Chains A and B, each alone.
Chain A
């Protein structure tokens, strides 16, 4: 392993291509932490946004008008404004209201920037998921539900065994698009100084003055990350595909 890292030092000496993230242990761990942060941010936001989607889709079918209105406007706000504005809204707007007085007497934010990034991005992707799941559920034919009912399935069982499995398959392609988009959007967390991949890279290139190398490393990292997600989701989409079901 050492010789592998040393090769990059030799590359620097020989060609001037300065990939400190390989041969410098400090930069290496910084970069790795940034990568892990991006992956964590993506994973947590994916899970939360899917949960928001499921709960929201369920609430959208609520009998209470107020609930439906709240969900409607939630979707409209997060769908139609730039995610950067949403991030600022949470971090600068809501965040400045939620402050405690620190030891030195100056206001200290109660919620960290990482948390705000997670909240903001999850709500952003969640808004799309609500719509996706809702149309998935609505797309299950009423006749199929009636058939389950006629066989004596209870309402809950019909929902769990018939409606949700079908709705999930119907929603899958749209969900994939959205989750891939979400992972790309995590870069915005840079704007509120969350130490994710883009942020640590900018730190490294301002310390080491190796902008082109870092830029390319960054581009390749994201290409790999997003490419892997796209590939994995497609495989999954195909794996749960039912022959003859179409979607």
Chain B
């Protein structure tokens, strides 16, 4: 690509087809998913109801296998709930920190992807796509095993707990996906906006911050929130590398109880907690998208 002048139109995203609404909807969502690097999470109240039904079946199943002298399944669940919820808080903490860190770096990377300087643009592109192509679990391993377990700053030794390393591991794919979301949004703004800003003698930096970026936020918010919901669900991956989050605690609880038939009840219970947290986010995403669609 030759050197761009600042008021040159940005390369446009895929042109949308002129076909049936269903086809263009599919093409649009495929483009959006490709940009966001994550599929759309669509939670409905019915899913919560189905999980509760599954939970009830699991409890019934477990209750039928209760031996004389053992506590009932609900009592067992209640006993473990504080432990599990502490694990769940871990999941939430990991997701929040990973999202924050990934977003901040990802924003810079996204802007760098449309830089006028070729090396910056290419570098940002390579970085983004390198981390987008790597599986989340591999990035998680990478950070878990390669980051030191302690660092020494000015003679002080600071321990780095496992969950912080896991959080960093998850923030890498978030960063790459946010970078693409930002680039996609920036390029979706019609070139006429750049041209009219240029005609009013705005500089490129002013145009970006005062005209282009504010319009992008609306477009970025839904995929960004969807990414967060996906990330929250993905925090269970950290159980594989030994972080004591809700999933590992559930498995520990199951092996401590050492009773048959608890599996379904426990897992549906855990999933229900995730549903409670992710459902409002998914709903809100849909509403924001609808509002955005009305404005256009």
Contacts and interface: CB of A to CB of B under 8 A. Distances in A.
B50 interface: yes
A17 interface: no
Interface string B183-216: 0000000000000000000000000000000000
A185 B137 CA distance: 8
A173 B19 CA distance: 15
Contacts of A8: none
Which label, helix, strand, loop or mixed, suits the secondary structure of the A interface? Answer: helix
B262 to A, nearest CB: 11
Contacts of B41: 79-80
B290 interface: no
A82 B33 CA distance: 17
Nearest to A183: B135
B134 A226 contact: yes
A202 B17 CA distance: 46
A219 B43 contact: no
Contacts of B47: 76, 80
Interface string B4-29: 00000000000111111011011101
A128 interface: yes
B19 A188 contact: no
Interface string A128-144: 10001001101111000
A170 B23 contact: yes
A218 B20 contact: no
Contact of A245 (B17, B46, B50, B145): B17
Given A222-B133, A223-B133, A227-B133, A88 B267 contact: yes
Contact of B27 (A81, A138, A173, A187): A173
B142 interface: yes
B34 interface: yes
Contacts of A26: none
Contact of A85 (B42, B135, B146, B236): B236
Contact of B135 (A178, A222, A227): A222
Contacts of A135: 22-23, 25-26
Contacts of B264: 93
B263 A82 contact: no
Residue among B134, B136, B233, B271 with the most chain A CB within 10 A? B134
Contact of B138 (A89, A138, A219): A219
Given A79-B39, A215-B141, A215-B145, A84 B25 contact: no
A246 B18 contact: yes
A178 B19 CA distance: 22
Contacts of B139: 219
B149 interface: no
B237 interface: yes
A150 B134 CA distance: 50
A247 interface: yes
Interface in B27-66: 27, 29-31, 33-34, 39, 41-44, 46-47, 50
A162 to B, nearest CB: 14
B89 interface: no
A219 B142 contact: yes
B19 A170 contact: yes
B240 interface: yes
B28 to A, nearest CB: 10
B247 interface: yes
Given A80-B41, A135-B22, A218 B138 contact: yes
Interface in A155-197: 170-171, 173-174, 176-178, 181, 184-188, 190-191
A132 B26 contact: yes
Contacts of B142: 215, 218-219
Contacts of B50: 73, 76
Contacts of B130: 223
Contact of B42 (A79, A176, A198, A226): A79
Contacts of A171: 26
Nearest to B250: A88
Given A139-B19, A190-B240, A174 B26 contact: yes
Contacts of A79: 39, 41-42
A247 B31 contact: no
A136 B43 contact: no
B26 A230 contact: no
Contacts of A58: none
A215 B15 CA distance: 39
Given A140-B20, A219-B138, A247-B17, 13 more contacts: A73-B50, A92-B263, A93-B263, A138-B22, A139-B20, A139-B26, A173-B27, A176-B30, A177-B33, A184-B136, A202-B141, A215-B146, A246-B16
14 contacts: A80-B43, A82-B233, A88-B267, A93-B267, A136-B26, A141-B19, A174-B26, A177-B39, A188-B137, A191-B240, A222-B138, A226-B133, A246-B27, A247-B17
The 5 closest A-B pairs by CB, nearest first: A246-B17, A139-B23, A174-B30, A173-B30, A139-B22
